[in-house]
Amino acid sequence: MLQIIQNLQTGTTSLIEVPCPLPQKGQILIKSHFSLMSLGTERMLVEFGKASWIDKAKQQPDKVKQVLQKIKTDGLGPTIEVIKRKLDTPIPLGYSNVGEVIGVGEDVIEFKIGDRVVSNGPHAEFVCVPQNLVAKIPERVSYESASFTIIGAIGLQGIRLLNPTFGETIVVIGLGLIGMITCQLLKANGCKVIGFDLDPDKIKLAQSLGVSAFILEQSNDRISLIENLTLRLGADGVIITANSKSNDIIHEAAQMCRKRGRIILVGVVGLELRRSDFYEKEITFQVSCSYGPGRYDDTYEQKGIDYPIGYVRWTEKRNFEAVLNALEEGILKVDELISSIIPIESFRVVYDEISESKNIATLFKYAENKIPEKSTLVTNRNIILKAGKECIGIIGAGNYTSSVVLPILKKYNAQLKYLCSAKGLTASTLAKKYFIQNATSDYRILLEDSDVNTIIITTRHNTHAQLVISALEAGKNVFVEKPLALTLMELNQIEAAYKVSKGQLVVGFNRRFAPLAIELRKLISGMDIPISVIATMNAGPLPLDHWTTDQITGGGRIIGEACHYFDLISSLTNSSINQVIMNSIDVDEDTASILLHYQNGSLGVINYFSNGSKDYNKERIEVYSQGRTAIIDNFKRLENFGFGRSSLSLKQDKGQDNQFKFFLDSIRHGGKAIIPIESILNTSKAVIGAVLSQKSRNWYEVK
């Protein structure tokens, strides 16, 4: 299928062929009829992309602080690589799409195939959207009119925050698309609406819609006009829908307001506020968040859990429905706002002139004869694969795949036949960059291809177990990024599948393959007595809504991250865990100490802390035995005490390179698995057991 994307590093806008997405649980697959291009929003993205690094930094000062901290902890070179990779990741453009439902995922009951719907999907021939971001289009509303729903909801949410009453005077600054719709909805609410813009064409259009609109260029003239029109009382409220870097707009809005007036920012303007503006009149200022309550809340958007209407009357979806109702009743008129309707293939006509364009809204129209089943695979026929060599398919095209897996696999000339991602876009762009023959959104294609002998899985944690089982049942070699599973039941199912499979199974416990870890094993090799190991990870905090902390999706940070140390200590002790117990500061397991007891008598302590300083090194491993001590400091330095050898310093290397090199060697030459399956299962059971022990407050016996 065709989709419009933008590269934030260069500002380049492209129309590319990507695999059609497949609906996951709670999602709707929509065949697009139209999508609306909001000139203001997309111009801002395009201009940001074209800006220099310095200008990008000026526009995002909060990100600059993060970059400086990363330079301090990881160094300049790695930080620059992260920034380049981030900016080079294409983003989909567009967020107001209408079309026909052609597929529904599990647990979707409100929608059925054939429904006419609106969503916040991008400019693409097919879009896959969570059900709480989709609304049905009334029969009397055309696709073209419904295309304005999402934009309308942005303006409506600003109005809801302003909470105007019948008869109040409200000023709207900025008469772009959102401003035009906001004015109409305010008028429908019984308000006296005054609009300002610097574009004469927009003034005329607003006036044709019944809005008192003015083009006064001087700030004093605008303030005086408001005083005259309100009998020197001032406006009851101001909604700012403009896009400007100027700080004067907020100042001017405050000057227009009456005492205890309200200002709502829907657009993007300078925010250096003057205290006197707000102090003297006790003016209220608030920034509106997109379409309404639920926005950016994964529980609402991705998991489909609605807010009770008795507590949250107007969610983002209910705002969509309110705008659609206004369109159906003729309260909101949008036909006059359409500047042009063009086929998606002609996108350059709009984007090449976006900086100078005075269009209000452009609709992209989509072909009616595309079939999604034939669009889930995009093949580069110029890439020829060699027979008799390993043939790899990768499921998952996120940050770890792009930053670690693909560069290393290409370094060792791995033959990659497929790259799969749920929505298809990242798979398509990375496949092109790394010369992978096929990009797809359907992982089943990889499993059904008899040429593919190896599957690499780098998806979110809750999908690992089932994908591993499916790949083993298909007879493939499997490499899965940690963790292997989130529950003991999943582990039992994986173990059963492995026993009857021809393929090997490896989990991405890369730290055992770090050069300094290998060197440390050499130092302590040959010891027949137990050793003691302390592993500390100064992990730092994560946002409360980060997916890895979600027990269902990520499994928590002990299962998802601290598992590395369970495996590392097992490799150092050359033994298996038979008992484990964990204590944590809180039930979220963010900060915990874990005690491991090994069959050979060795002891391991894992300190996984999220409450440490960012300035302190992230990882430290200490080994004690026979009056000797060895310390790995952040995988950069190995210090020896009592071993009679000098310390060793290297560039930081956590073992990913060796891990994939050894894995490729094993599948190419038929060698043993790089981590014994017994060790993988023991480690995985111990990690889950640690979490269970924290709840029971008892030692967990690993069997």
Query: What pLDDT is stored for residue 588 in this prediction?
Result: 61
Say yes or no to pLDDT of 82 above 80.
Answer: no
Residue 193, token pair as written in the block: 């609406």
Tell me the C-alpha distance between 59 and 48, whole Å: 8
pLDDT band at 606 (very low <50, low <70, confident <90, very high): very high
User: Which contacts of 639-642 are long-range, i.e. CB under 8 A and separated by 24 or more positions?
Assistant: 640/523
Q: State residue 57's pLDDT score.
A: 65
Enumerate residues 6+ apart whose C-beta is below 8 A from 14: 4, 5, 6, 7, 90
What pLDDT does 484 receive?
98
Q: Rounded CA gap, 690 and 701, in Å?
A: 10
Asked if the model's pLDDT at residue 306 lies above 70, the reply is yes
- Contact yes or no for 268/173 (Cβ under 8 A): no
Contact 683, 509 (CB under 8 A): yes
| pLDDT, tens only, 461-498 | 999 999 999 999 999 999 999 999 999 999 999 999 99
**Res. 288: pLDDT tops 70:** yes
Closest CA to 682 of 587, 516, 569: 569
Check whether 180 has a pLDDT greater than 70: yes
Cα–Cα–Cα angle for 637, 660, 624, nearest 5°? 35
pLDDT-wise least confident of 5-9, 133-137, 654-658, 674-678: 5-9
Given this model, what pLDDT does residue 218 score? Answer: 79
Residue 612's SS3 state is: coil
Which range (229-233, 312-316, 684-688) has the least confidence? 229-233
More confident residue, 77 or 168: 168
Segment 359-381 mean pLDDT: 85
Q: pTM here?
A: 0.89
54-64 core/surface letters (b: 16 or more CB in 10 A; e: else):
eebeeeeeeee
Banded pLDDT at 83 (limits 50, 70, 90)? confident
Is pLDDT above 80 for 426? yes
Is pLDDT at 356 greater than 80 in this prediction?
no
Residue 59 has a pLDDT of 67
**Which pLDDT does position 252 carry in this prediction?**
95
Q: With 0-12 CB in 10 A as exposed, 13-18 as middle and 19+ as buried, what is 671?
A: exposed
Q: What's the confidence (pLDDT) of residue 468?
A: 98
Rounded Cα distance between 627 and 77, Å, is 39
DSSP H helices, 230-315, are: 248-256, 275-281, 298-301
Q: Which CATH architecture has domain 389-507?
A: 3-Layer(aba) Sandwich (3.40)
> Tell me, what's the pLDDT at 58?
63
Q: How far is CA 408 from the centre of its chain?
A: 23
**Segment 384-397 mean pLDDT:** 92
Determine the Cα angle at 114 with ends 319 and 294, to 5°: 25
Domain at 161-287, CATH class: alpha beta
- Arithmetic mean of pLDDT, 529-549: 92
CATH topology of domain 511-701: Dihydrodipicolinate Reductase; domain 2 (3.30.360)
Residue type, 286: Q
pLDDT of residue 369: 80
CATH, domain range 2-148+334-365: 3.90.180.10
Dihedral sign, Cα of residue 534, residue 538, residue 544, residue 550: negative
703 forms beta bridges with none
Percent above pLDDT 70 for the chain: 96
Structure-block tokens of residue 263: 């200002």
What does the pLDDT read at residue 55? 66
- In the chain, residues under CATH classification 3.90.180.10 are 2-148+334-365
In which band, very low, low, confident or very high, does the pLDDT at 516 lie, cut at 50, 70 and 90? very high
Among 57-71, 328-342, 426-440, the minimum mean pLDDT is found in 57-71
pLDDT (tens digit per residue) in 157-179:
999 999 999 999 999 999 999 99
Whether 370 has a pLDDT exceeding 80, the answer reads: no
Question: Angle CA(31)–CA(32)–CA(38) in degrees, nearest 5?
Answer: 155
pLDDT tens digit sequence for 242-272: 989 899 999 999 999 999 999 999 999 999 9
Residue 86 has pLDDT above 80, yes or no: no
Cβ atoms < 10 Å from Cβ of 48: 15
* Rounded distance between C-alpha atoms, residue 260 and residue 168, angstroms: 13
Distances (CA, A) of 328 to 19, 151, 323, 336: 35, 16, 9, 16
Residue 281 confidence (pLDDT) above 70: yes
Least confident of 25-34, 63-72, 581-590: 63-72
> Which residue spans of the chain are classified as CATH 3.40.50.720?
161-287, 389-507
Mean pLDDT score across all residues of the chain = 92
